[in-house]
């Protein structure tokens, strides 16, 4: 088990190196002179030259890469070209909204998608099954921002139950914080609900065919106990996998949702950085997201080994 | 979307002809028919846009801004007085060309890469590490970053959306090749000293078509979604070009006053992606019996 963990951890290193190289080359592969791109259209030749020296762009490519990587490993993600403050500081300031949004969305997903998937599998082919499956196809296809505006229109503008947009920090009081988080979190979870409900259903269908389910029913266990204790627990592994593969959906969802609801989180940060061509911020955010992706998938693989005694390494 | 197709698909022993004939005998489920009809309507709308649109989609008319529905402006006008109906009609052009273009580009790059990685161990080791790295970068971030570097036109946009889609296709083709190359007919071909390029072209490639067709529909739908998302975020094509994403991005400011500014483009965009996804599901059911059983 420990050897497996170490092996997986080592395998993550080349992946992260490729990501770092891609992110590094991103700026270098851009057509034209990167220093000129950064300086903007109005810069003089001297200004461009000073930016070139400041960023080490006058050095050979491999030296640049080495310098950049060694700074990264020390936790130095550079300085924003626009605000002239440390990129790391900008990111930590924006962490709270994004983490609250993502966590709330995951809670909604688990509360809504897993029971739906279980019921759909339990009554396969029934009206409710068809309904769950159709709604999940629609959930995949309707873009997150369309769902966001639909929810705003219905719950904020027509019914006036919840605020339209904005974000309040948790420190400003829980009521304000939560009421502004409900709609964005529901929006963000829509794709995820579709994905997890589908996966739960497919996984449950496999498990419900097993002999031990028949045994459990034969010995007179209640249907709810059979479904949630015996079946769902064994159907859990594929559901866990989807959380890993769905991470990319979560990221693009966060970017869009924060734009729709005016939430000052990391998703807004990257869009603002792209519009301002603030390359160090873009690079740092891509690196961090990729790192998070690798870590999440590593944790999921490990949790298999821990939750399912049949899996041995 | 793309995640619903397993990377460890069973080998399909279907020639292209066989696959196509099966495609046309799709279970005539009403949903599939409706989806095909919807998509056809959207394609016609895109091709015939100049004849269907009632106005020039870019003609400014400040005097008649933010109007409601009328005989003159069927869906009303936007904040610059442009005819919303005509803009929405023209929006289909960009979305559909991006969807088709990205699907074609992904196959052109992903298919050869997948065949080579599946067949040659040495290439496999290097290319798959690169693919693992690319997969770790979420598609939307990769696309945003690539667009940020180049000025967004139709070509750079399609390339930006294609790059993050490639690893999935390469993995799919590779797993298919790995399974097929163990088959007796491939072994026989090797023993008869058939040239390697011929084995790849004649024996291995046709066996990848069935899952490739299915995956392509999902790539197409994902590309349309990504393009609209980029436009919506303001990092896509220039706001002068009417795309569904751009129309919605501009509608945001006046959304509370006039929801129609977002509603119609959002509806067509959703219907477009939905119909392509449904056709993909139908193609999967017809071409890949193993998946059908698994997914119910």
pLDDT tens, B281-296?
888 878 765 554 444 3
Please tell me whether the interface predicted TM-score (ipTM) of this complex is above 0.90: no
How far is residue A69's CA from residue A37's CA, in Å, rounded to a whole number?
A: 22
Partners of residue B250 in chain A, C-beta under 8 Å = none
Containing H/E element for A138? helix A127-141
CB B273 within 8 A of CB B38: no
CB A211 within 8 A of CB A260: no
CB B224 within 8 A of CB B95: yes
**Which residues 135-154 in chain B show a CB within 8 A of chain A?**
136-142, 144-150
Partners of residue B133 in chain A, C-beta under 8 Å = 14-19, 21-22, 290
Nearest chain A residue (CA) to B273? A141
Partners of residue B147 in chain A, C-beta under 8 Å = 274
Partners of residue A37 in chain B, C-beta under 8 Å = 149
How far is residue B50's CA from residue B57's CA, in Å, rounded to a whole number?
A: 9
The pLDDT value recorded for residue B108 is 95
pLDDT in tens, chain A (313 residues): 677 778 878 888 888 888 888 888 876 666 666 677 667 667 777 888 887 777 777 777 788 888 888 888 888 888 777 777 888 888 888 888 898 898 899 889 889 988 898 888 888 878 888 888 888 888 888 888 888 888 888 887 778 788 777 777 777 777 777 778 888 999 999 888 888 888 888 888 888 888 888 888 888 888 887 888 777 877 777 777 777 777 878 888 899 999 888 889 898 998 888 888 788 888 889 999 988 888 888 888 777 777 666 665 5
- State the total domains in chain B: 1
Is residue B28 scored above 70 in pLDDT? no
Q: Is B273 on the interface with A (CB under 8 A)?
A: yes
Is residue B163 scored above 50 in pLDDT? yes
Average pLDDT over residues B207-225: 90
Q: What is the pTM of this model?
A: 0.84
Say if the Cβ atoms of B133 and A140 lie within 8 Å: no
The pLDDT value recorded for residue A56 is 72
What percent of chain B is predicted at pLDDT more than 90?
22
Is residue B275 scored above 70 in pLDDT? yes
Considering the domain A96-312, what is its CATH architecture? Orthogonal Bundle (1.10)
The pLDDT value recorded for residue A32 is 61
Domain that holds residue B219: 17-54+75-295
Average pLDDT over residues B77-90: 82
**How far from the centroid of its chain's Cα atoms is residue B20's Cα?**
19
- The CATH number assigned to the domain holding B193 equals 1.10.3720.10
Nearest chain A residue (CA) to B136? A290
Which of A238, A252, A257, A273 best tests the B interface by mutation, with the highest count of B CBs <10 A?
A252
Calculate how close chain A gets to B203, using CA atoms only, in Å. 32
Neighbours of A158 (CB within 10 A): 9
CB B102 within 8 A of CB B282: no
Highest mean pLDDT range out of A11-25, B2-16, B76-90, B156-170? Answer: B156-170
The pLDDT value recorded for residue A214 is 83
* Residue with the larger pLDDT of the pair A156 and B27: A156
Calculate how close chain B gets to A217, using CA atoms only, in Å. 23
Say if the Cβ atoms of B133 and A14 lie within 8 Å: yes
Say if the Cβ atoms of A294 and B136 lie within 8 Å: yes
Whose tokens are 């897993």? That residue is A114
**Identity of the residue in A22, A150, A202 whose CB atom sits nearest the CB atom of B133:** A22
* Residue B66 counted as domain residue: no
The pLDDT value recorded for residue B293 is 41
CB A260 within 8 A of CB A8: no
What percent of chain B is predicted at pLDDT more than 70?
87
Non-local CB neighbours of A19 within 8 Å, separated by 6+ positions: A286, A287, A290, A291, B133, B136, B137
Please classify residue B175 by burial: count the beta carbons closer than 10 Å to its beta carbon, then call 0-12 exposed, 13-18 middle and 19+ buried.
Answer: buried
Angle between helices A144-151 and B260-287 (to 10 degrees): 130
Say if the Cβ atoms of B259 and A30 lie within 8 Å: no
Query: Tokens at residue B289, please?
Result: 């019996």
The pLDDT value recorded for residue B241 is 86
Residue B83's beta-bridge partner residues?
B77
Non-local CB neighbours of B155 within 8 Å, separated by 6+ positions: none
The pLDDT value recorded for residue B6 is 43
Give B37-45 contacts, CB < 8 A, sequence gap 24+. B38/B271, B38/B272, B38/B274, B38/B275, B39/B272, B39/B275, B39/B276, B39/B279, B42/B92, B42/B96, B42/B268, B42/B271, B42/B272, B42/B275, B43/B92, B43/B96, B45/B89, B45/B92
Partners of residue A158 in chain B, C-beta under 8 Å = none
End-to-end CA distance of chain B: 17
Partners of residue A38 in chain B, C-beta under 8 Å = none
Query: Phi, psi (5° rounding) for residue A79?
Result: -120, 140
Q: CA nearest A243: which of A106, A72, A98?
A: A106
How far is residue A54's CA from residue A64's CA, in Å, rounded to a whole number?
A: 12
Calculate how close chain A gets to B205, using CA atoms only, in Å. 27
Partners of residue B273 in chain A, C-beta under 8 Å = 140-143
Query: Helix (H, G, I), strand (E, B), or coil: what is residue A233?
Result: helix
Say if the Cβ atoms of A248 and B139 lie within 8 Å: yes
Containing H/E element for A272? helix A266-275
Partners of residue A202 in chain B, C-beta under 8 Å = 294-296
Domain boundaries, chain A: 2-73, 96-312
Average pLDDT over residues B95-120: 93
Say if the Cβ atoms of B274 and A198 lie within 8 Å: no
Partners of residue A150 in chain B, C-beta under 8 Å = 266
End-to-end CA distance of chain A: 6
Calculate how close chain B gets to A172, using CA atoms only, in Å. 27
Is residue B1 scored above 60 in pLDDT? no
The pLDDT value recorded for residue B289 is 56
Which of A134, A145, A209 best tests the B interface by mutation, with the highest count of B CBs <10 A?
A145
Q: What is the mean pLDDT of chain B?
A: 82
Say if the Cβ atoms of B262 and A26 lie within 8 Å: no
Chain A and chain B share a number of CB contacts under 8 A equal to 151
CB B203 within 8 A of CB B180: yes
């Amino acid at each position: 088990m420990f050897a497996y963990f170490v092996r997986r951890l080592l395998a993550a290193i080349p992946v992260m190196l490729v990501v770092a190289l891609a992110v590094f080359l991103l700026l270098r592969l851009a057509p034209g002179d990167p220093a000129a791109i950064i300086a903007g259209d109005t810069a003089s030749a001297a200004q461009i030259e000073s930016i070139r020296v400041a960023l080490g762009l006058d050095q050979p490519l491999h030296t640049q890469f080495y310098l950049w990587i060694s700074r990264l490993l020390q936790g130095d993600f550079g300085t924003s070209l626009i605000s002239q403050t440390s990129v790391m500081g900008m990111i930590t300031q924006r962490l709270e909204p994004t983490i609250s949004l993502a966590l709330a969305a995951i809670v909604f997903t688990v509360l809504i998608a897993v029971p739906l998937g279980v019921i759909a599998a339990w009554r396969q082919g029934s009206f409710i099954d068809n309904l769950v499956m159709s709604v999940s196809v629609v959930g995949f296809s309707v873009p997150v921002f369309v769902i966001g505006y639909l929810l705003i229109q219905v719950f904020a503008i027509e019914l006036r139950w919840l605020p339209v947009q904005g974000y309040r920090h948790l420190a400003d009081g829980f009521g304000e914080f939560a009421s502004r988080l409900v709609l964005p979190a529901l929006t963000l979870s829509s794709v995820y609900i579709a994905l997890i409900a589908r996966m739960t259903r497919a996984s449950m269908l496999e498990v419900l065919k097993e002999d031990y389910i028949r045994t459990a029913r034969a010995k007179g266990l209640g249907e709810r106990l059979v479904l949630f204790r015996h079946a769902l627990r064994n159907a859990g592994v594929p559901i866990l996998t989807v959380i890993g593969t769905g991470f990319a959906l979560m990221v693009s969802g966060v970017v869009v949702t924060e734009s729709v609801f005016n939430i000052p989180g990391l998703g807004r940060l990257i869009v603002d950085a792209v519009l301002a061509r603030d390359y160090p911020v873009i690079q740092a955010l891509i690196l961090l997201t990729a790192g998070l992706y690798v870590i999440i998938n590593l944790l999921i693989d490990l949790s298999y080994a821990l939750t399912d005694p049949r899996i041995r390494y | 979307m793309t995640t619903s197709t397993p990377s460890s698909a069973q080998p399909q022993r279907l020639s292209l002809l066989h696959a196509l004939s099966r495609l046309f005998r799709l279970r005539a489920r009403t949903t599939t028919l409706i989806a095909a009809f919807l998509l056809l309507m959207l394609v016609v709308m895109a091709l015939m846009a100049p004849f269907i649109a009632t106005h020039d989609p870019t003609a400014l008319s400040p005097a008649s801004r933010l109007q409601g529905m009328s005989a003159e402006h069927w869906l009303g006008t936007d904040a610059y007085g442009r005819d919303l109906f005509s803009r929405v009609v023209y929006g289909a052009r960009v979305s559909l060309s991006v969807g088709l273009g990205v699907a074609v580009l992904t196959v052109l790059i992903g298919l050869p890469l997948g065949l080579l990685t599946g067949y040659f161990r040495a290439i496999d080791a290097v290319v798959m590490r690169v693919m693992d790295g690319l997969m770790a970068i979420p598609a939307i971030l990769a696309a945003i970053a690539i667009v940020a570097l180049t000025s967004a036109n139709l070509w750079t946009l399609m390339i930006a959306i294609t790059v993050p889609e490639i690893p999935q296709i390469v993995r799919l083709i590779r797993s298919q090749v790995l399974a097929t190359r163990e088959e007796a007919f491939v072994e026989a071909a090797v023993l008869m000293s058939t040239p390697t390029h011929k084995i790849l072209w004649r024996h291995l490639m046709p066996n990848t078509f069935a899952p490739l067709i299915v995956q392509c529909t999902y790539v197409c739908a994902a590309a349309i979604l990504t393009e609209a998302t980029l436009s919506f975020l303001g990092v896509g094509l220039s706001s002068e070009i009417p795309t569904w994403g751009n129309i919605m991005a501009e509608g945001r400011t006046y959304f509370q006053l006039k929801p129609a500014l977002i509603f119609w483009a959002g509806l067509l965009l959703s219907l477009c992606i939905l119909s392509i996804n449904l056709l993909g599901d139908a193609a999967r059911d017809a071409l890949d019996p193993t998946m059908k059983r698994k997914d119910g």
